[in-house]
Structure 1
C-alpha cells in the first residue's frame, strides 16, 4: 500500500522558495558590505589635492636669451677610468676638435637604471661636443646601487670624483664645468652642487624634485588616470606605495632633496616635456625656484618642450630645440643664467599636487602581506591533504574492523569548503593579474577597456562569488546542526574545516583591503 505523503514530504511552497532566495541574497549583500567596511577602515583613501598654483610662461619660443651664435665642430672621443672610493668606473669624454681651449664642460649624471656610457646620453653628449662643449658620461657605480638600496648622498660623492677628473682635463676650463642630471639624477646633482660651490651650473632634466615616495604615487596616479581605470582602483596607490617591501630597504623612498637645493648658488636650467606624465612638471619648477631663493639665488631658467616625454624625447630621441638650447645655455654662462625669458615653451599642465602619501594603518608590512597571501592557499592545501590521509586511514581501519565508525563531512559541506577556498584563491589570483595588466598598460600609455573595465568587473564578480560560497557554507552548516548531523566529525576534519574557513577569511580581508568590495566609503 502506498504511504500517504506527510506534510514534510511536500515540495516547498513558492513563498518559502522566495524567502530562502531572499535570505541568501541578503546574506551575500551583508557579507559584501561588511567586507567593504573592513576595507575602508584598514587603510587610507586616495584623494590628491588639486594644484592651485601655476607658472607663467613668457613665450612659446624656448631659445635661450644671451646664448652665443652656434658653431659646429668635429668630435673626438676618449675613454678614461675614474677612481672612486673602493671601486673604479669607466667613462667616455667627447671633445670638440679645434675649439679654443680651455672650453666649458658638462658632466652627465644618470637617471634610474644601469647607466652605461655606451648607451646613455649619446645624442646629448655628441650635440654638446659639436657645439664646442666637452662632455663626459661616466658609468654609474652599481656595486652600491640596487632596487632596495640607494644612497643619493654617497652617489653624489662618487660623481664628484668624475667632476674633479673632468675639471682637471687640459681641454677644460675648470671654472665652467656644469652638471647635467636626468630624472633620478635630480636627487643627486643638488647634493653635488651644495658640496661643490665652484660648479658653474646645474641642468635638471625631468627632475622629480619631491621625495621618491611622493613622486612614485604621483606617477602611478597619472598613469592610472591615463589608462582609464575605475575610481575604486586608486585606493591601491597609498597602500602599495606606502607599504614596506619584503626584504627591507627602500630607505631612500623618503629622501628630501630640498635642503640641498636650498644651498645651491649656481645658475640652474630646469627642463620638462609637456608629455611627461610621471613628473610634477609645474610643481617641480616652482619648488626649485622657491628652494634656490632660500640661498638668495634667482638664477633659474625654466623650459617646457611641446610633446616631449621623460628625458625630453620625441619619438625616442631628444628633441632638437632642447639640444640647441642646452648648448646655448652652457656656452653662454654666466650671462645666460639670468637672462630673460626665465620661463618659456609650451604651456605645462599639472592637475594634482605630488604630496605626502597617506600611510597604511594595518597591512603596511609587505612581509606580513606576502605571508598571508601565500600562506593561506598553502594552509588550504595542507588541510585538504590531511583530510585525504585521514580518509585512507579510516578505510583501512574499516576493512580490518567493519564495526569501526566511518566519519564524513555533513552532506554538502565538503563541496562548499572546496568552493569557498577555490573561489577565494581564484579571486586573489585574478586581482594580482589585473594589477599587473593595468601596470603594463599604464607604463606603455595604452588603453584597453576589456582589460581595465572588464577585468575589474571580473575581479569583483569573483569576490562576490567567494562571499556567496561562504554564505552557502554557513547556511549548510546551520542546517546540519539543526538536523543533528555533525558538520565535521573527528579532529582532523574539524581542524581542516576551520583551517579552510580561516584561510579564506584572511584572503577575503586582504581582498577587501585592496578595494575589491569597496562601496566608495
Structure 2
C-alpha cells in the first residue's frame, strides 16, 4: 500500500526536530571556530612626569642649533636598492637635505644661517645624519617627510628620504628584513659623504617601519640613534589584531563584529606564502641605542601602555637607559592635526622642535635635563591579544566552505539560466514547466534562498561599513552614531534562526518525498510501492533539471549558513 502524505502535525513535529538538530550543529560550529582572547586588563594608563614635552640638555654656555637655524638645500640623486633574498634591484630616487653651503664647499663652516638668524651656533666639522623610513603604503622621496627632514637639516643635520623599497611586494607580502637591508644601504650612502660624521648616522622610523628599524640596527651594528613615531612594537598579527579590535569598539560596532577580528587574525596565512605576519619584531638589541619615542593621544592604532613598558624593558635589558617618551595630547597616528587623508595637515605643536632638540643634544653627547617621560597621560583601552596564533585547521575549514559556497552559487546561476532558456522554449512549444516544482515547495525554496542570501549580503555590507568607519577613524575623523554596524548583527541572527526553520521545513519536505516514493523506511521493513503520481501538493520537482536545481539551491543555503556560523552569527 502506498505511503500517505504527512498531516500538518507530523510535518510540524519533524520540522521542529530537524530545526533543533540544525541549530545545534550551527551553534556548535560557531563555538568551535571562535577564538577566545583575553583583552584585559582594560583601561591601562601611565602618568607622565610633566605635561611639557620640551627636550633640553645641560649645554653649559653653548647655544645649540634648533629648527630653522640654517637655510636648507636639497640634492637629488638615485640609489640602487637590492633585495637580498631575490637579488631584485629598485632604482630609487633620494633627496638629501643639509644646511645650505655645506655640499658645495665640503665644510660645515660654510653653512648659511636662515633669514632672521644673526649668529648661528657653530657646527661640528662633520655633521650627524639621519635616514627616514616609510610607514605603510608606497611613499616616495618627494611626497614623504618633507617637513620633518627639513626641520632636522635646518638644525645642522644631513637627512635622506628615499622612495620606499617595495620591489615586487605589496602590503601583505612586504619583505621587512629586505627593507632593512635597503635602508641600511641609504645609511652607508650618508656615511660615504665627506661632510657626514659616519659614527653619528641614525634612523627616523614611523608606524610600519618601526618593524623594520630593529633589523636595520641589528644588520648595521653602528646606528647612532633612532626616532620612533607611533611604533607598533609587537608583531603584525598581535599589533593589528589589537588596533582593529579597539577601533571596532570605538566606532560602535556590535561585539559580534569585534569577535570576528579574532577569527581573521588567527588565520594561518603561511598556507598562502605570506610569512611576515609572525616575524619576530621584539629584538632587545634594537633598543640598545639612544631612542626617542613619540605617540599621539588620539592615535587609535598603537598599544601605547604596553608599547612603552615593552620598549623600556628591552632597552634596560640591553643596558640602555637613554630612552625618551613623549605623548602629544591632540596627535593622531602620524602626529598630525585632523584628517591625514587631506593634504596640508600639520604636525602637532612642539613635536618638530622636540625631536630636533633631542637629536641635536643626543648626537653631541649632552646630558638630558628634562623628564624622560612627558606629555599627556599615556592610555590604552584593551590589552594586546598576544595569544593570537595561527590556527591551520580553522583556516582550512573556513577557506573550504567559502570556496564551496561560491562554486555552488555559480552552479546554481548556471542551472537558473538553463531553466530560464528551457522555460521560454517550453512555452513556445506548449510543453510543461522547466523545473516542475509544486507551489508549496517552490515558495519555501525561494523564500529560504532569498532570506539566506540577503543575510549574507547584509553581513558583508555591515563588515564593509565597519572597515570604512575604521579607516576614517584612523585618518582622524570623529566616530559617528553606530547605526547598522550595531543592529545588523542582531537582525542577521534573527533571520538566520528563521532561515534554519524554513530550511528545516524544506528538508522535511524532502524527507516526505523520499517516504512517499518508498525510499525512506525503517530498517527491515519491506519497500513500499511509491505513490502512483505526484500531486501538486507533493513537495518536489517533476523534472531532472528541477531536482538538480533544488539540490544545488539547498546546498548553497547550507553553505551560506555554514559561512555565517564560521563568522560567529550563531553565537547567541
The TM tier, using the shorter chain, reads 0.7 to 0.9
1:82 is paired with a residue of what secondary structure? Answer: strand
For the aligned residues, what is the CA RMSD? 3.2
Q: Deviation digits for residues 469-499 of structure 1, max 9, x if unmatched?
A: 3133234445656775463445443333222
* Residues 271-280 or 261-270, more deviating: 261-270
Question: What's the TM-score once normalised by structure 1's chain length?
Answer: 0.86
Confirm whether residue 185 of structure 1 aligns to residue 214 of structure 2. no
Deviation of 1:448 after TM superposition, in Å, equals 3.1
Confirm whether residue 381 of structure 1 aligns to residue 426 of structure 2. no
Find 2:559's aligned residue among 501, 506, 521: 506
Match of 2:107 in 1: none
Match of 1:331 in 2: 360
Confirm whether residue 74 of structure 1 aligns to residue 127 of structure 2. no
Deviation of 1:460 after TM superposition, in Å, equals 3.1
Deviation of 1:385 after TM superposition, in Å, equals 4.2
Q: Deviation digits for residues 55-103 of structure 1, max 9, x if unmatched?
A: 4522111111317645422111111112323332111112123263422
Find 2:469's aligned residue among 401, 424, 441: 441
Match of 1:346 in 2: 376
Match of 1:92 in 2: 95
Match of 1:267 in 2: 290
Match of 1:235 in 2: 259
Aligned length: 499
Correspondence 1:291-330 to 2 at 5 A: 291-315=314-338, 316-330=345-359
Match of 1:283 in 2: 306
Match of 1:6 in 2: none
Find 1:173's aligned residue among 162, 176, 197: 197
Deviation of 1:277 after TM superposition, in Å, equals 1.4
Deviation of 1:253 after TM superposition, in Å, equals 0.6
Q: Deviation digits for residues 449-477 of structure 1, max 9, x if unmatched?
A: 32222333443344334224313323444
Find 1:104's aligned residue among 128, 134, 159: 128
Question: What's the TM-score once normalised by structure 2's chain length?
Answer: 0.79
User: Quick one: distance in 1 between partners of 2:24 and 2:399?
Assistant: 28
User: Quick one: distance in 2 between partners of 1:407 and 1:288?
Assistant: 67
Find 1:467's aligned residue among 493, 496, 500: 500
Residue 416 and residue 389 in structure 1: after superposition, are their counterparts in 2 closer, same or farther (change >3 A)? farther
Checking the alignment, whether the CA contact within 8 Å between 1:178 and 1:330 is kept in structure 2 is: no
Match of 1:413 in 2: 441
User: Quick one: distance in 1 between partners of 2:466 and 2:312?
Assistant: 36
User: Quick one: distance in 2 between partners of 1:336 and 1:278?
Assistant: 33
1:377 is paired with a residue of what secondary structure? Answer: helix
Match of 2:388 in 1: 357
1:515 is paired with a residue of what secondary structure? Answer: coil
User: Quick one: distance in 2 between partners of 1:441 and 1:406?
Assistant: 46
Match of 1:427 in 2: 455
Match of 2:528 in 1: none
Structure 1 gap ranges (5+):
1-11
Checking the alignment, whether the CA contact within 8 Å between 2:206 and 2:230 is kept in structure 1 is: yes
Checking the alignment, whether the CA contact within 8 Å between 2:47 and 2:378 is kept in structure 1 is: no
Q: Deviation digits for residues 282-341 of structure 1, max 9, x if unmatched?
A: 111211122223322222111111121112222332223111111111100154576551
Q: Deviation digits for residues 202-224 of structure 1, max 9, x if unmatched?
A: 11111111001111111101110
1:318 is paired with a residue of what secondary structure? Answer: coil
User: Quick one: distance in 1 between partners of 2:378 and 2:245?
Assistant: 18
Match of 1:41 in 2: 32
Confirm whether residue 65 of structure 1 aligns to residue 56 of structure 2. yes
2:172 is paired with a residue of what secondary structure? Answer: coil
User: Quick one: distance in 2 between partners of 1:89 and 1:348?
Assistant: 38
Checking the alignment, whether the CA contact within 8 Å between 2:235 and 2:277 is kept in structure 1 is: yes
Checking the alignment, whether the CA contact within 8 Å between 1:193 and 1:202 is kept in structure 2 is: no
User: Quick one: distance in 2 between partners of 1:195 and 1:359?
Assistant: 28
* Residues 472-481 or 101-110, more deviating: 472-481
Correspondence 1:148-163 to 2 at 5 A: 148-163=172-187
Match of 2:140 in 1: 116
User: Quick one: distance in 2 between partners of 1:407 and 1:378?
Assistant: 18
Residue 503 and residue 30 in structure 1: after superposition, are their counterparts in 2 closer, same or farther (change >3 A)? same
User: Quick one: distance in 2 between partners of 1:374 and 1:385?
Assistant: 17
Confirm whether residue 455 of structure 1 aligns to residue 485 of structure 2. no
Q: Deviation digits for residues 16-53 of structure 1, max 9, x if unmatched?
A: 89x99899789767744542232111332344232697
Q: Deviation digits for residues 122-150 of structure 1, max 9, x if unmatched?
A: 11112212222222111112224312312
User: Quick one: distance in 2 between partners of 1:405 and 1:312?
Assistant: 67
Match of 2:161 in 1: 137
User: Quick one: distance in 1 between partners of 2:492 and 2:434?
Assistant: 40
Residue 240 and residue 337 in structure 1: after superposition, are their counterparts in 2 closer, same or farther (change >3 A)? farther
User: Quick one: distance in 2 between partners of 1:340 and 1:471?
Assistant: 71
* Residues 356-365 or 99-108, more deviating: 356-365
User: Quick one: distance in 2 between partners of 1:134 and 1:92?
Assistant: 10
Residue 154 and residue 336 in structure 1: after superposition, are their counterparts in 2 closer, same or farther (change >3 A)? farther
Checking the alignment, whether the CA contact within 8 Å between 2:419 and 2:545 is kept in structure 1 is: yes
Residue 22 and residue 439 in structure 1: after superposition, are their counterparts in 2 closer, same or farther (change >3 A)? farther
